[in-house]
Amino acid sequence: MTFGRMETEFRAKREQGRKLLVPYVTGGLTGWQQAIRAAADAGADAIEIGIPFSDPVMDGPVIQEASQRALDAGVTPLSIFEEARELEVGIPLAVMCYYNTIHHAGHERFAYQLVSAGISAAIVPDLPLEESGLWCAAADAAGIETVMLAAPTAPDERLPRIAARSRGFLYSVGLLGVTGERLSLAASATALAKRLKAVTDVPVLVGVGVSNAAQAREACMVADGVIQGASVVRRLMDGGPEAVGEYVAEVRAAITF
Amino acid sequence: MSILDEPSAEGRFGEFGGRFVPETLVPACQELEAAFRDAWADPIFRGDLNQLLGEYAGRPSMLTECHNLGRSLGIRLILKREDLNHTGSHKINNVLGQAMLAKRMGKTRLVAETGAGQHGVASATAAALLGMSCKVYMGAVDVERQSLNVFRMKLLGAEVEAVQSGSRTLKDAVNEAMRDWVATVSETYYCLGSVMGPHPYPWMVREFQRIIGEEAFTQCRELLHGDDPDFVVACVGGGSNAMGIFSGFIDTSTARLIGVEPAGGAAVGRGVPGVVHGMRSYLMQDEHGQVQEAHSISAGLDYPGVGPEHSYLASIGRAEYPTVTDDEVISAFQLMARSEGIIPALECAHAMAWIVREAPKMQGKVVLMNLSGRGDKDVGQMMEILG
Ligand SMILES: Cc1ncc(COP(=O)(O)O)c(C=O)c1O
């Protein structure tokens, strides 16, 4: 099997002993492009761009607020794609979008829009394995890597099937709940990452509830890397792009063993 | 194939339905499907539920013929009196079934969304009866306009959270209930209030509400000396009271099935297929696929989507989904009170409003309307509107 851009880079970096760091930035939020550049300069390996949606059921208060702000400012998937094209940060880009955004655009058309925006991958949190056929076919055909999510509630037999369908990396959901910062890393985060590592060689990244550098380090003891969402978006809203850069540098240092 | 069969293994009715949920909830939906299948095939569960429906909810609900209104409209108007159920609406039929199922599954906590508060009140009631804790999510706008029901839920021991996100109505209450469920899935049962959401909810809730149609079919045959009504009319929010009463007539009669939507929340009339709240169905959305806010005088119908079976019935032409305006609803609400001595819930006043408007085209016909709930909860809101 030939890997897409993101998975090829992730596997090569893992080979070199580097832990993978993927910050999440809400597309269209004030300063989002500068934040992505700052994150790339500070050691991010890829960026997850959130496409704001009216009904983000997997998101907690911080990302909900960021999405709402972007929507209120008139941001659309297409305006984000336009601006993403200008980024040229040298690392792969993924989108995180709810399925209705894809469904409404049409599977083939959406995949094509991603390709033309220079985006490598898509993460669709409300599209589980059983419903993913149509989108995955369109994405595969266009060369878009579809990252699947695995959750702590999955029985053992389900995990290899999810891993087999995942491209780019495998998203190991860190806890039972929505995105947002927590005081400590849930025990389920490392437990699930361990279960996944045992059944797949696709890079396993922990996301949802990895809230600071120390928690990222803890997760990376087991996983191949982390996704940082609410902790990044909060810094962008409170402190601007520089705060994001500083934070990503801090996490990078913490996960450099 | 009949629509009253089970949906496909993927939970599809035609091209509608499915299970579009976060991965965390997939095992929970599968577990629920298996548990419901098992319970529904178990005569002891069915017997216990029927006993509760009879002795606690007050079933069967009766039919009432509206002679005054019928005479002035030139039709025969028959009401199915779901307003007389315990807690005041059809919602109790579904909730007793789901709460018993939750108990059977070993769950200790119910979460529910509510619009008008009727489903929240029914959930709080069942939780009190069966000894479970209950948390109800309700849009902040609805907390305002249905404050009586908020207090009822609290009296019944439930916790009510006012949802401040998005349009702060039913759609956002569903989002918040789903977020709660994602975080607490091992001990929590999500008691969904309509024929919507991910598989198996649309199918399961329809099965629990089918009793409305089954009773009404037999009662009509008796009242009409073997005949069936020409029209069966119900309001549609998510669509549970409509699916309940339609179920009795879809296969067994040629009655025209009319699901009345509010003009400001016309999922079938103004929507295109979309995916939200776990299902593929008609959905009001903008050109970028953002879900639009519904606007209706009735909190229970203020929803931009609709259950997938209704999308299917609309797509095959077996049911029709016209709309009525808030003004037509306010008139119908008053008309019903004055001519029949029945104060309807604002939701089913939508069905009445359509009947009043279309009566000239239905002269001499028999019209069965599902009176899904009583209007006590709406009196405060109407006081403000009518001054
Ligand atoms: C009396 C009554 N009728 C109808 C509805 C709408 O729900 P459904 O379309 O599921 O019957 C509600 C919802 O709150 C209600 O309270």
Q: Residues 6 or more apart from A150 whose CB is under 8 A from it?
A: A158, A159, A162, A163, A170, A171, A172, A173, A192, A196, B23
Distance (Å, rounded) from C-alpha B344 to C-alpha B112?
Answer: 24
In angstroms, what is the span from residue B90 Cα to ligand 1's centroid? 8
Which pLDDT does position B41 carry in this prediction?
Answer: 98
Residue A153: its chain B contacts at CB < 8 A?
23-28, 185-186
DSSP class per residue in B303-335: -SB--HHHHHHHHHTSEE--EE-HHHHHHHHHH
Which pLDDT does position B3 carry in this prediction?
Answer: 78
Distance (Å, rounded) from C-alpha B145 to C-alpha B123?
Answer: 19
Distance (Å, rounded) from C-alpha A72 to C-alpha B258?
Answer: 37
Q: Are residues A101 and B277, on separate chains, in Cβ contact within 8 Å?
A: no
Average pLDDT score, chain B: 97
Could you tell me if B28 lies within 8 Å of chain A, comparing CB atoms?
yes
Distance (Å, rounded) from C-alpha A70 to C-alpha A63?
Answer: 10
Reading phi first (left if > 0) and then psi (alpha if -120 to 50, else beta), residue A179 is in beta
Q: What is the mean pLDDT of residues B94-99?
A: 98
Given pLDDT bands bounded at 50, 70 and 90, which one contains residue B299?
A: very high
Domain definitions of chain B by residue range: 12-51+91-201, 60-89+210-386
CATH number of B60-89+210-386: 3.40.50.1100
In angstroms, what is the span from residue A126 Cα to ligand 1's centroid? 27
- Residue B32 pLDDT exceeds 90: yes
Which pLDDT does position A1 carry in this prediction?
Answer: 72
The DSSP 8-state label assigned to residue B185 in this structure reads T
Distance (Å, rounded) from C-alpha B263 to C-alpha A175?
Answer: 41
Helical pair B326-340 and B346-358, crossing angle rounded to 10 deg: 90
Residue A148: its chain B contacts at CB < 8 A?
23
Task: Please write the tens of the pLDDT for every residue from B157-185.
Answer: 999 999 999 889 999 999 999 999 999 99
How many CA atoms lie within 13 Å of B142's alpha carbon, on the beta-carbon side?
A: 38
Nearest by CB to residue B22, choosing from A64, A71, A126, is: A126
State what percent of residues in chain B have pLDDT above 90. 97
- Residue B103 pLDDT exceeds 90: yes
Look at the domain A5-254 and name its fold. TIM Barrel (3.20.20)
Supply the residues of A annotated as catalytic: 48, 59
**B119 tagged catalytic:** no
Beta bridge partners of B285: B291
Indicate whether this complex's ipTM tops 0.90: yes
Contact of A106 with A81, CB cutoff 8 Å: no
Taking the CB of residue A12, how many other CB atoms lie within 10 A of it?
Answer: 11
Task: Please write the tens of the pLDDT for every residue from B278-289.
Answer: 999 999 999 999
Which pLDDT does position B2 carry in this prediction?
Answer: 79
Distance (Å, rounded) from C-alpha B259 to C-alpha B240?
Answer: 11
The DSSP 8-state label assigned to residue A25 in this structure reads E
Q: What is the mean pLDDT of residues B22-44?
A: 98
Given pLDDT bands bounded at 50, 70 and 90, which one contains residue B211?
A: very high
Could you tell me if B45 lies within 8 Å of chain A, comparing CB atoms?
no
Single-letter amino acid, residue B322:
P
Reading phi first (left if > 0) and then psi (alpha if -120 to 50, else beta), residue A159 is in alpha
Q: Residues 6 or more apart from B252 whose CB is under 8 A from it?
A: B217, B228
Classify residue A115 by burial, with Cβ atoms within 10 Å: 0-12, 13-18, 19+: middle
- Residue B1 pLDDT exceeds 70: no
Which pLDDT does position B387 carry in this prediction?
Answer: 85
Which pLDDT does position B24 carry in this prediction?
Answer: 96
Beta bridge partners of B342: none
Tell me which residue of B276, B288, B291, B166 sits closest to A76, measured CA to CA. Answer: B288
Mutation target to probe the B interface, by most B beta carbons within 10 A, among A51, A53, A57, A101 is: A57
Distance (Å, rounded) from C-alpha A99 to C-alpha A168?
Answer: 18
Backbone angles phi, psi at B234, to 5 degrees: -150, 155
Q: Are residues A57 and B19, on separate chains, in Cβ contact within 8 Å?
A: no
Which pLDDT does position B166 carry in this prediction?
Answer: 87
List per-residue pLDDT tens for chain A, 257 residues long: 799 999 999 999 999 999 999 999 999 999 999 999 999 999 999 999 999 999 999 999 999 999 999 999 999 999 999 999 999 999 999 999 999 999 999 999 999 999 999 999 999 999 999 999 999 999 999 999 999 999 999 999 999 999 999 999 999 999 999 999 999 999 999 999 999 999 999 999 999 999 999 999 999 999 999 999 999 999 999 999 999 999 999 999 999 99
Tell me the whole-structure pTM to 2 decimals.
0.98
**Distance (Å) from the alpha carbon of A41 to chain B's nearest alpha carbon:** 32
Judge whether B12-51+91-201 and B60-89+210-386 match in fold: yes
Look at the domain B12-51+91-201 and name its fold. Rossmann fold (3.40.50)
If DSSP codes are grouped into helix, strand and coil, which group holds residue B273? strand
Which pLDDT does position B255 carry in this prediction?
Answer: 98
Helices (H), B185-235: 201-223
